[in-house]
Amino acid sequence: MRAIVQRVSRAEVRVEGKVKGKIGKGILVLLGVGDDDNDKDLEYLAAKVANLRIFEDSENKMNLSVLDVKGQALVISQFTLYGDCRKGNRPSYSKAARPKIALDYYEKFMNLLRDKYNLHVESGVFQAHMDVDFVNDGPVTLLLDSKKTF
């Protein structure tokens, strides 16, 4: 599984002009599921996202997690994180999970954040064309991969 995690002061997602998910201070998570991902990848990435120390403490050092600051999460499905651009100009998505599997892991990921980490989670609409609007606080943007390829 792959994720782009951004620290935000606010974020929202709209589908056909209607707000489907909206948060204040917290994290925007763009989540991609790979064709070889399993429950170990799911657990690893959920723990990493929930516990990333990317919020400032009283000394302005990034020592606090989204849990520590009682922030929220907006999670958006993003199969294009598995786009391979190494050959030619058109990305190949052959390593992305098929939609049925990806949806299952997307939902499990959000449920883990909610149930295990007690995080308020909002989401977009799987496979929909979405408009995501956010203010990146910092800016802070991190790339995560459960296979630790980067």
Burial of 61 (0-12, 13-18, 19+ CB in 10 A): exposed
Report if residue 150 sits inside a domain. Answer: no
For residues 78-90, average pLDDT: 96
Instruction: Read off the pLDDT of residues 64-73 as tens digits, 9 standing for 90 and up.
Output: 999 999 999 9
Please indicate whether residue 72 is annotated as part of the active site: no
Number of domains present in the structure of the chain: 1
For residues 39-61, average pLDDT: 98
Instruction: Read off the pLDDT of residues 99-144 as tens digits, 9 standing for 90 and up.
Output: 999 999 999 999 999 999 999 999 999 999 999 999 999 999 999 9
Report if residue 46 sits inside a domain. Answer: yes
In this prediction, residue 98 carries a pLDDT of: 98
Q: How are beta strands 2-15 and 18-23 bridged, if at all?
A: antiparallel
pTM: 0.97
Report if residue 97 sits inside a domain. Answer: yes
Does residue 145 have a pLDDT over 90? yes
Report if residue 118 sits inside a domain. Answer: yes
Report if residue 40 sits inside a domain. Answer: yes
Among residues 55, 72, 78, 134, which one is catalytic? 78
Cβ contact 36:19 at 8 Å: no
Among residues 6, 72, 79, 109, which one is catalytic? 79
Q: CATH number of the domain that 139 lies in? A: 3.50.80.10
Q: What residue numbers bound the domain in which 77 lies?
A: 2-145
More confident residue, 27 or 149: 27
Report if residue 66 sits inside a domain. Answer: yes
Tell me the pLDDT band of 150, cut-offs 50, 70 and 90: confident
Please indicate whether residue 80 is annotated as part of the active site: yes
Report if residue 32 sits inside a domain. Answer: yes
Tell me the pLDDT band of 41, cut-offs 50, 70 and 90: very high
DSSP H helices, 27-143, are: 39-51, 99-115
Please indicate whether residue 79 is annotated as part of the active site: yes
